Copies of this chain bind each other. A is one copy, B any other.
Amino acid sequence: MAKAMAPRGFARERVLEAAQGLFAEHGVSGTSLQMIADRLGVRKSAVYYQFPCKDDIVVAVFRPVFEDITRVVAIAEAIGSREVQREATISGIIELAVRHRRTTVLVHTDPAVVGIVEAIGDFRDASRRLQTILAGPEPDPSTLIAIAVLVPGLLGAAADPTVSDIPNEELHRMLLDCSRRLFAAQAPADQEADGSKTSTPT
């Protein structure tokens, strides 16, 4: 019995690792239990033994991501200033996106993952709290647009092969710069139109 339990934990991790790679390459719907078994060099029944259906694998792959999102949101919610809240949340999401570059993006882009997020209470709650803290209590259209650009932009950039050789810390810092520009520039853009900011054409 003890002998049977030890390899089960190990095999579970191997299935999740293989699934994560295949999800990133083919999407969740494009990945079959047979493909996971093939990648591991085992029979499909060995995968079934760990996870009765593919949805169980999807939930297990993305649970750590939503646990991290919940922590990021909890940290931010305790902060008083709205601006600091948003900056802390965005930095936390970037950290996650950069750490798991090709997996995190699927939370936003893969219809099968989006469906699972809606179906699992914990995941759905984390996602709603994240949206609320980014947008604030009564967001105007331009804030909503900035967030609608920012989230897929950050996750998509972290997953982009053209930036794959930029180290995590540097990519994190550069993406945080991008997000600051996207929000902070909203007011100055109007000021520019008023002529209250001087421009130096060269």
Contact = CB atoms under 8 A, between A and B. Distances in A.
Interface of A: 25-30, 105, 108-112, 141-142, 144-146, 148-157, 160, 162-163, 166, 171, 174-175, 177-178, 180-182, 184-186, 188-189, 197
A149 B145 contact: no
B145 A175 contact: yes
Contact of A166 (B141, B154, B157): B141
Number of copies: 2
Contact of A30 (B109, B111, B148): B111
Nearest to A183: B181
Given A26-B111, A110-B27, A111-B30, A160 B174 contact: no
A27 B112 contact: yes
B156 A108 contact: yes
A110 B30 CA distance: 10
B157 A152 contact: yes
A114 B110 CA distance: 13
Contacts of A177: 142, 189
14 contacts: A26-B29, A26-B112, A27-B29, A27-B30, A27-B112, A30-B111, A30-B112, A109-B109, A142-B177, A145-B178, A149-B154, A152-B153, A152-B155, A184-B185
A181 B174 contact: no
A149 B162 contact: no
A95 B95 CA distance: 32
A144 B156 contact: no
A157 B153 CA distance: 9
A153 B158 CA distance: 12
A142 B176 CA distance: 12
B111 A25 contact: yes
Given A30-B111, A189-B177, A156 B163 contact: no
